[in-house]
Structure 1
Amino acid sequence: MIPITEYAGRDVAVYGLGRTGLSAAKALKAGGARVHAWDDNEETRAKAEAAGIALSDINKRDWQTFAALVLSPGIPYKFPQPHRLVRMAEMTGVPVIGDMELFARAVQALPERGRPKVVGITGTNGKSTTTALTGHVLKEAGRDVRVGGNIGTGVLDLAALHSNAVYVLEMSSYQLDLVKSLHCNVAVMLNLSPDHLERHGGMDGYQAAKMRIFQNQTPHDVAVVGFDDIYTQSIAIGLSASGPQRVTQISSTYTLGKGVSAVEGRLYDNLNGKAEFIGKLEDCPALQGRHNFQNAAAAYATCRALGLDPATIMAGLKSFPGLAHRMENIGDIEGVRFVNDSKATNAQAAEQALRSFRNIYWIAGGVPKAEGIGPLAPLFPNITKAYLFGQAEGAFAATLKGKVAVQACGTLDRAVDQAFRDAKASGDASPVVLLSPACASFDQFKDYEHRGEVFRSLVRAMQPAALKESA
């Protein structure tokens, strides 16, 4: 845990007691603050009490006494409209911050020589894989690395700050919306496409939130920026022209004159203006597909900025085991391969999986994003049949009509069962039952992890006994 001492002896409100809110409450309490923690959900409050956090209904408190409101990133901050407690904080002059801002202030409070290195990673897609991959390479190289943030462990639940440590942190747009003091020694922006627009008031607000990852960088710092979409191309060019930091461009599409390229799975280091072939990503089992080539280029550029040599980085890329719920190979049953890509919560993320396979029996659905699945039309020929569930069922069926065979299943268990039956009977070469929902999960599941775990359990329940024992 990272104790937060800034508010020692003062009253702090914490609203939203999920993973990040709970870790913030614990860290503030450990640092001596008087924590007033609350969540409107009774079950969540019970879990917080069981974790040793005393509850205090901040709806009934005198807000003039609060030094800050620590807001869970899942709570609306500005759009579509501020939560009532955000409005209360604004009316009483109480600063609204998040767990990542608490972490940033704790780092900045240390003497400069005592501060750890901070790597911040964001983007619309690929940030979890890139965060895990970067942490893995650094760990394999013998660095004292702590990985968390929006992935796995909440940032304040990570091991205490230490000057020799490297914190590799995934950062969502919701978290970045609440930071002011964050300083990243290496800041990574992988890509940008429309997502979460209702929470940011449109694309401009979404991009502005993501850009906060660069805001406190200095000439000693590095910005690693993707060059594969129009938004990040503009960001890379703009930072190169006017930003104080050094900019490293990365691409899985273009051979860059200066930067790191991973075109067609061949990784090149051109950071010094002279291309050096580093290795073939086909030798990295968990990094297949163009999206993973970009992730590998980003991790490579980040680790180079932190002083690792090319051979050490390439060895780490090869040994990376992959990330749960992202192109995760669950296993094969009677010639049918099952792939868990539950983390694909929008069309852009699902695109990566649909590009990677043929003869796909596609399971999709949940809470649809604004763009739907229309952008995936060029990949429809890869899909043999689609099995739809959740709120998106009707809209997705309409988009696929006349292009892909569709079955409305209602629930994930029915979709898995029918997809397996059809794939097994198809006679196709190497059929793949692919869960890549292109949707948020909240209509039927707690989150994408819960959805992926249910999928995994359903598949394993169909496996022969011998395979279950080895799984």
Structure 2
Amino acid sequence: MTPATTFAGQKVALFGLGGSGLATIRSLLAGGADVLAWDDNAGSRDRARDQGITVTDLREADWSGFSALVLAPGVPLTHPEPHWTVPLARAAGIAIIGDIEIYCRERAALAPEAPFVAITGTNGKSTTTALTAHLLRHAGRDVQMGGNIGTAILSLQPPAPNRVHVIELSSFQIDLTPSLAPSIGILLNLTPDHLDRHGTMENYAAIKERLIAGAELAVVGVDDAYCAAIAERRTGERVRIHVEGHGAAAGDVVCSAGTVRGADGAVIAQVSGIASLLGDHNLQNAAAAVAAARRLGLTADEIAAGLQSFPGLAHRMEPLRRIGPVRFVNDSKATNADSTEKALLAFRDIHWIVGGKAKEGGIAPLAPLFDRVAHAYLIGASSDAFAATLEGRLPFTRCETLEAATAAAAEAARASGTEAPVVLLSPACASYDQFPNFEVRGDRFRALVAALPEPG
């Protein structure tokens, strides 16, 4: 744990008693702060009390005595309207911050030179965070990984000169971190997301830009217009990453054909053939992780060994098993068409398990990639809508359940006689019609694939 010593003797209001909120309370108390905490959800309040945490209704508190409001990242700060705690904090003239800001203050006070890699982007940030941490750990570094990827940042060990923190940040977390100034800031890409919480794409992009604005080194993917403009505005040290390599400038990292090259053309990493890093999107992720690892002193051999041993993340283009020529891939994390597009681009001869609770636009944007699909197997509440999209364009079977779809896809792929068929779960949908979350959906698919018999 990282005790919040910079809040010693101060009175702090905290709203949001989820995992990161509880970790923040422990950190503040360990650092000597007085914390008044609340949540609108009665169940969350009860769970906090069960853990010995004092819960106080902040509506009845004297806000003049607080030094800060610590807000959970899932709580609206600006859109669609500020949470009721926000105007109370503003009227009291106190800072509204999150747990990442508390870490940043601790780092500035205790170990300002401690290596801190902060990673964001619309897509790919979890893989890039996990890969960066893996490269460093594999090379023998003391690494703490967390933030939006799982472990709350204040549950990690404190910043220290010989310890690297590799932290994934969402736009919500960045918005609550005014002093964010990492050693290395990585911005992968930007596409429309969370606009209900940020109002416009321009606001969303501006918040993401803050992650690299104060970084010593900015690593920016420049294959979308928003990130390209952000990279142009950057006045400090930067590395631009091009997946296709067009318009590369001095100092850029250029990615193509599974290879990461510097602007001088020299190979700095080889990604092709690594099963956990399939697809151009993972080439971008790997290039960003490699740029961070190089800056932190890893050798080419250490980077190569780390890339080869990277196991990947569960439910994100996760290779499961090969039965004869048939590969099975779990991409349950693909909950929208943009994510599924990355998977379809990575394979051909695909037996595609798709469906669930559809997002706006459905799978119509994926039509240019239908020629990569041998057959689609429809599951869940989106079946009628997706059947209408696929009719006359792609063979499909209504399977309703994941169990039926897995069995049908496995049998058809085995019988296809093609060289390298792929059974791909990449639903392009939320899971809530049949599963509580994408992890449970992916776990079920993994179990179904594990139970398939070997060919007789």
- TM-score, normalising length: structure 1: 0.87
Map of 1:305 onto structure 2: 295
1:73 maps to 2:73: yes
Provide the aligned length of Structure 1 versus Structure 2. 453
1:468 is aligned to: none
For 1:131 and 1:70, the matched residues in 2 are separated by 25
- How far the C-alpha of 1:399 sits from its partner, in A, is 3.3
Would you say the 8 A contact 1:7–1:33 is kept in 2?
yes
> Could you tell me how far apart the structure 1 residues matched to 2:436 and 2:32 are?
32
Change (3 A) 1:61 1:417: farther
SS of 1:17's equivalent in the other structure is coil
For 1:371 and 1:97, the matched residues in 2 are separated by 35
Aligned ranges for residues 308-323 of structure 1 at < 5 Å? 308-323=298-313
- Check conservation: 1:252, 1:264, Cα contact below 8 A: no
Following the alignment from structure 1 to structure 2, what is the Cα–Cα distance between the partners of residues 2 and 62?
Answer: 28
Contact 1:342 1:448 in 2 (8 A): yes
Structure 2 residue 374 is the aligned partner of structure 1 residue 384: yes
**Which residue, out of 137, 161, 165, partners 1:167?**
165
| Alignment-mate amino acid for residue 161 of structure 2 | S
Q: Once the 2 structures are TM-superposed, how far is the Cα of residue 349 of structure 1 from its aligned partner?
A: 1.9
- Assess if the C-alpha contact under 8 Å between 1:337 and 1:433 holds in 2: yes
Q: Determine if the alignment matches structure 1 residue 348 to structure 2 residue 338.
A: yes
Q: Specify the SS of the correspondent of 1:104.
A: helix
Shift of 1:409: 5.1
1:224 to 219, 226, 232: 219
Q: Is residue 411 of structure 2 the alignment partner of residue 435 of structure 1?
A: no
Letter in 2 for 1:268: R
**Residue 234 (structure 1) aligned to one of 226, 229, 232:** 229
Q: How far did 1:284 drift?
A: 3.1
Name stretches of at least 5 consecutive residues in structure 1 with no aligned partner.
466-471
Amino acid at match of 2:224: D
**8 A contact 1:121–1:130 mirrored in 2:** yes
Deviations 1:15-39 (A, max 9, x none): 2222322221221222222223333
Q: Structure 1 269/7 Cα, relative in aligned 2: closer, same or farther at 3 Å?
A: same
Q: Distance in 2 between matches of 1:176 and 1:367?
A: 29
How far the C-alpha of 1:6 sits from its partner, in A, is 2.9
Alpha-carbon distance in 1 for matches of 2:274, 2:346: 15
Corresponding position of 1:123: 121
2:270 touches 2:304 (CA, 8 Å); kept in 1? no
The aligned residue for residue 252 of structure 1 is 243
Matched, 1:457 2:453: no
Classify the secondary structure of the residue corresponding to 1:119: strand
Cα gap change, 1:257 to 1:38, in 2 (>3 Å) = same
Q: Does 1:142 align with 2:140?
A: yes
CA deviation map 1:297-346 (0-9, x unaligned) = 11111112222232322222122121111111122457643211122233
Structure-to-structure mapping, 1:92-131, within 5 angstroms: 92-110=92-110, 112=112, 115-131=113-129
What is the CA-CA distance between 1:179 and the residue it aligns to? 1.3
**Distance in 2 of aligned mates of 1:411 and 1:62:** 54
- C-alpha distance in structure 2 between counterparts of 1:358 and 1:284, whole Å: 17
Measured on the aligned residues, the alpha-carbon RMSD in Å equals 2.7
2:80 partner SS: coil
Identical positions, percent = 49
Cα deviations across residues 218-240 of structure 1 (Å, max 9, x unaligned)?
xxx1111112222222222221x
* TM-score when normalising by structure 2: 0.89
Q: Deviations over 1:97-148 (max 9, x none)?
A: 1111111111122254xx4111111111111111111111111222222111
Segments of structure 2 that go 5 or more residues without pairing to the other structure are none
CA distance in 2, matches of 1:269, 1:103: 33
**CA offsets, 1:20-76, max 9 Å, x none?**
222212212222222233333444444434444333333444444433222221222
Q: Give the conservation status (yes or no) of the 8 Å contact 1:227–1:233.
A: yes
Structure 1 pair 306/337, CA: closer, same or farther in 2 (3 Å)? same
